[in-house]
């Protein structure tokens, strides 16, 4: 076997589409792992139904998130109180 470059999940594209689009896809696909459902907290059960629409395979919740990641930094600050982590201290009240 010849040497293979470590290109991660985008290795499946081979030399196609150019380096820059492949790098963008790689960044998105690496973020997919380790995402947690905001309701049942189970790991890697989220499926991207459309841009910004996420469905949990475990509990079936459908919610709005980022286009390619389930939760964005800005989205965290806008979450309803019951979905926020108990440790997160609220600045209101």
Residues lying near Zn ion in the complex (CB under 5 A): 37, 39-40, 56, 58-59
Comparing CB distances to Zn ion, the nearer of 37 and 70 is 37
Q: CB 38: neighbour CB atoms within 10 A?
A: 23
Q: Which is nearer to Zn ion, 10 or 56 (CB)?
A: 56
Smallest separation (angstroms) from Zn ion to the CB of 71 = 13
**What is the distance between the alpha carbons of residues 51 and 84, in angstroms, rounded to a whole number?**
23
Cβ 89 to Zn ion shortest distance, Å: 24
Question: In sequence order, what are the beta bridge partners of 64?
Answer: 53
Q: How far is CA 45 from CA 32, 68, 69, in A?
A: 10, 15, 13
- For residue 57, the minimal CB distance to Zn ion (Å) is 8
Which residue, 19 or 59, is less far from Zn ion as judged by CB? 59
Give the side-chain half-sphere CA count within 13 A for 13. Answer: 17
């Amino acid at each position: 076997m010849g040497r293979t470059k470590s290109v991660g999940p985008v290795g499946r594209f081979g030399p196609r589409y150019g380096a820059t689009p492949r790098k963008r896809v790689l960044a998105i696909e690496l973020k997919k792992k380790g995402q947690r459902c905001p309701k049942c907290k189970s790991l890697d059960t989220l499926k991207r139904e459309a841009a910004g629409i996420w469905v949990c395979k475990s509990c079936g919740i459908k919610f709005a998130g980022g286009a390619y990641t389930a939760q964005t930094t800005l989205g965290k600050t806008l979450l309803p109180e019951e979905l926020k982590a108990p440790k997160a201290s609220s600045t209101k009240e």
